[in-house]
């Protein structure tokens, strides 16, 4: 049974506890240092947290070859410790959330695992809808539904129409008072981070981006 903090501890117990705390502190610092050395990459579906992913992935390229849409790329030398690891550039080719997620099935290193998500209400999701690669974010200054000094607003819902889970992960909010058009709104609880909205966005650069999940 674990001792309470106000109970006397033997010298060995004290240093053992201190060592455990120190080891945890060092592990967290190593995690932060390693994951901050390279760019933030959007990982394929089912990827472990970044630090674990970097240690588990053997750079075998099987997930890259398994992707039927050729969406998974190999990280270049500029990626630092993430060199040759798989990632997705949604502006080039997004993740199409294949029903069977073949990239995961081909990963023998368990760097990619079958997605399973338990919602706050107890609902259990598995497969594509449980994927959490990252979260989409709308850049108001670039989105054509907002007016700027140089641009009149115009109606657009392309990102919503391209979303695999429209009106859940991405919806078009009603126009605010005095505005002619509604604006896209992301719900982080439902967003898979697939990047289909980024790929479809007519703005250049894209008015919606995916921020990769880090943990």
Q: Is the confidence at residue 18, as pLDDT, over 70?
A: no
Grade residue 13 by pLDDT with cuts at 50, 70 and 90: low
Higher-confidence residue of 34 and 144: namely: 144
Opening angle at CA 136, ends 168 and 47, nearest 5: 95
Percent residues over pLDDT 90 in the chain: 77
Residue 39 has a pLDDT of: 60
CA 110 – CA 180 distance, rounded (Å): 49
Tell me what the pLDDT averaged over the chain comes to. 87
Q: Is the confidence at residue 2, as pLDDT, over 70?
A: no
Higher-confidence residue of 27 and 154: namely: 154
Q: Taking the CB of residue 69, how many other CB atoms lie within 10 A of it?
A: 11
| Digit-coded pLDDT (tens) for 173-196 | 999 898 999 999 999 999 999 999
Residues 146, 183 contacting (CB under 8 angstroms): yes
| Digit-coded pLDDT (tens) for 36-48 | 444 689 999 999 9
Model pTM? 0.81
Residue 26 has a pLDDT of: 42
User: How would you label 133-147 residue by residue, b for 16+ Cβ within 10 Å and e otherwise?
Assistant: bbbbebeeebbbbbe
Q: Which domains does the chain have, with CATH numbers?
A: 30-128 (no CATH), 132-215 (3.30.70.20)
Residue 76 has a pLDDT of: 94
CA 197 – CA 186 distance, rounded (Å): 11
Q: Is the confidence at residue 35, as pLDDT, over 80?
A: no
Question: If we measure between CA atoms, which residue out of 96, 199, 202 comes closest to residue 210?
Answer: 199
Residue 214 has a pLDDT of: 73
Grade residue 17 by pLDDT with cuts at 50, 70 and 90: low
| Digit-coded pLDDT (tens) for 190-203 | 999 999 999 999 99
């Amino acid at each position: 049974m674990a001792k309470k903090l106000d109970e006397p501890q033997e010298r060995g117990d004290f240093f053992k506890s201190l060592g455990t705390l120190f080891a945890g502190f060092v592990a967290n610092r190593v995690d932060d240092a390693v994951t901050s050395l390279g760019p933030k990459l959007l990982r394929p579906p089912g990827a472990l947290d970044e630090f674990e992913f970097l240690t588990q992935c053997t750079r075998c390229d099987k997930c890259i070859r398994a992707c039927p849409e050729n969406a998974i790329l190999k990280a270049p030398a500029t990626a630092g410790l993430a060199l040759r690891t798989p990632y997705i550039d949604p502006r080039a080719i997004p993740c199409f959330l294949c029903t069977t997620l073949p990239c995961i099935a081909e990963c023998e290193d368990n760097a990619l695992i079958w997605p399973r998500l338990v919602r706050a209400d107890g609902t259990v999701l598995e497969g594509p809808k449980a994927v959490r690669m990252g979260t989409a974010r709308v850049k108001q200054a670039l989105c054509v539904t907002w007016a700027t000094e140089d641009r009149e607003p115009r109606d657009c819902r392309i990102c919503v129409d391209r979303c695999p889970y429209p009106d859940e992960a991405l919806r078009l909010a009603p126009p605010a008072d005095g505005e002619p058009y509604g604006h896209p709104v992301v719900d982080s609880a439902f967003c898979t981070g697939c990047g289909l909205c980024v790929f479809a966005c007519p703005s250049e650069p894209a008015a919606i981006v995916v921020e990769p999940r880090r943990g």
